[in-house]
Amino acid sequence: MERLKTLCIVLLLVFFASMYQGAVLPFIEGIKYGLSIAKYEDETNNKTQEFIMMDVEPKNPGNTIPNEVNLKNGQPVVVQATNISLISTDLTEKPVWWLALNALYMALTTIVLVLGIWIPFLVVKILRSLQRSWVFERINLARINRIGMILLGIGILGSVIQLINIISAEYLVDLTNYRFTYSKVIDFNAIIMGVVILIMNEVMRIAVELKEEQDLTI
């Protein structure tokens, strides 16, 4: 019992740490990024379109032309980006489908944030049940199942969000040396975690049913 409580607490701490790393810090950086963009637009009197954290790959992988300098020794080095954020001066007339995609992007992002906030509340409720020694209870099974479904949903919706982001960027931007890549579109980490939790929940459900049958037999 104590080990289970400890693991739940560890899960909660790890989740909050991952939320801080994956949501809070990017949110703070996003605010700074937005302020710098606003300053740029004000100074240059240009309208811009921003695409944040885009996965890219070089159009010519064999390109070894130095494009940076190692300040430690002054020697030129080759830098190839795998993830970039870019600001494009936006003068392109956007079609209806592009605007609809971006509206969907904003809606899905909001849903993912709400789902992410929901998980800690479910974990806290499970911890409270454990404190009352309510381990093999169907209410806990429902909560664990909900956590698994939420993680699975976050993984799927996050993948759709990234796909929309790439499609939107490709319509407006064509870089000289890089192209946007779909190789990391699917958020396998959240999806795998969600599936594992659902499998473990199914194991617990079977254990609960066996316990209930045993209680009836007694």
Q: pLDDT tens digits, residue range 106-129?
A: 899 889 888 888 887 887 787 777
Q: Where are the domains of the chain?
A: 2-217
pLDDT at 71 over 90: yes
- Whether the model clears a pTM of 0.85, i.e. scores above it, the answer is no
What is the dihedral angle through the alpha carbons of 199, 201, 207, 210, rounded to the nearest 10 degrees? -90
CB atoms within 10 A of CB 139: 11
pLDDT of residue 156: 93
pLDDT of residue 9: 65
pLDDT of residue 4: 59
Angle at 28 between CA 25 and CA 29, to 5 degrees: 85
Mean pLDDT of 74-101: 84
Q: Given pLDDT bands bounded at 50, 70 and 90, which one contains residue 160?
A: very high
